[in-house]
Amino acid sequence: MPLIKSEVPRTLRQAERRPAVYQLNKQFVGSHRLLYQIRSGRFSQVWAAIDDGTGRRYALKTLLPDFQTDREQIAALDHEYSVGHKLNHPRVLGADFRGTSKVGPFLRMELCEGLNLRDVLRKDRRALQPWLTSIVAQACESLVYLHSLGWMHLDLKPDNFMLTPDGDVRLIDFGLARRLPTGWERFFWRRRNKSIQGTRSYMAPEQIQKRPLDYRTDVYGLGCALYHMAAGVAPFTASSTNELLTKHLIFPVPDARTDNPDLTPAFADLLRRMLAKKPEKRPQTVGDVLKEIQQITVRKEPEAVAG
């Protein structure tokens, strides 16, 4: 159930208001005039833009100058479009156009005002607590839909969930999404996937070990993301990449109540099972996770103050 706008934290409602100076940007990508930068990553950046012909606002994903002719990054952009243009659900943010301009290839998406959940947690690790049940349920709904189309996301983390000023959660970034492997694809998985892909703080053991993946891999990644949203920190942290990956492989799952005592034992136990090392020990589908969320209490009710 979405939150109502008046309940959303002030920092999110402020995301609707952008300084007027951004309207002066004269740089164009195709027919789209850039307004302001939303975020920038290692290979690409995302801009809010307006189509000067129609007046409609969009988000544009463009490659950084050093990667505008890079075949691998162009292929990744094409792949993201091949997944995103088929998505049509209120809990996901797909893509509707893939074009090329003087600044290279770009991907056009619906403009989603708000903040990603990692940015919210950076501002205040407890900011999501009053609305945690709704946020967790909506995150599950987005993945149930994606799986129903035969896609695994494989990069689930707070950064890839947007929270709008109206309280809606939207799943984004399908650059690593893959079809569920079947038959011979599973047999040749390791040969065809020689590098580890994903975000290390949220990767399932089978991703690290380059074993065949399935929807239960996303159950693990979602468990890591929900743990971070609920506890304010990722389940595993380390001073080096190798140490972090080793923790995913062999360390016991910490109790989320250690970082947030307001979580219920039932929800902490669900997170623990989602982060099981062996896929068969996890809830078998995100639909199963959503059903449990709907049946349990995520957060303890605040104690009433005596009058």
DSSP state of 166: T
Name the residue among 98, 112, 87, 212 with its Cα closest to residue 154. 212
Would you call 1 helix, strand, or coil by DSSP?
coil
What's the residue count for the chain?
Answer: 307
Determine the number of helices (DSSP H) and then strands (DSSP E) in the chain. 11, 11
Q: What is the pLDDT of residue 271?
A: 98
Pick 115-295's CATH classification: 1.10.510.10, 1.10.3720.10, 1.10.10.10, 3.40.50.300.
Answer: 1.10.510.10
To 10 degrees, what angle do helices 215-231 and 132-148 make?
A: 170
206 in Cβ contact with 225 (< 8 Å): no
Residues 6+ apart with CB under 8 A from 48: 18, 22, 34, 35, 36, 37, 38, 57, 58, 59, 60, 111
List, by residue range, all CATH 1.10.510.10 domains of the chain.
115-295
Distance CA 303, CA 127 (A): 19
Q: Residue 188 in 3-state DSSP?
A: coil
CATH 3.30.200.20 holds for 18-110: yes
> Alpha-carbon distance 274 to 253, whole Å?
10
In the chain (307 residues long), the average pLDDT of successive 10-residue segments reads 48 44 61 89 90 91 91 92 94 92 90 90 90 96 97 96 93 91 60 70 94 94 97 94 95 95 96 98 97 94 54
User: What's the alpha-carbon Rg for the chain, to the nearest Å?
Assistant: 20
The reported pLDDT for the residue numbered 19 is 39
Looking at residue 128, its pLDDT comes to: 92
Annotated catalytic sites, by residue?
155
Nearest 5°: CA angle at 5, between 4 and 8?
95
Two tokens at 158? 């707070």
pLDDT for 23 equals 40
Write out the residue limits of the CATH 3.30.200.20 domain(s) in the chain.
18-110
Q: How far is CA 277 from CA 2, 48, 91, 232, in A?
A: 32, 40, 28, 22
- Count of C-beta atoms within a 10 Å radius of residue 168: 18
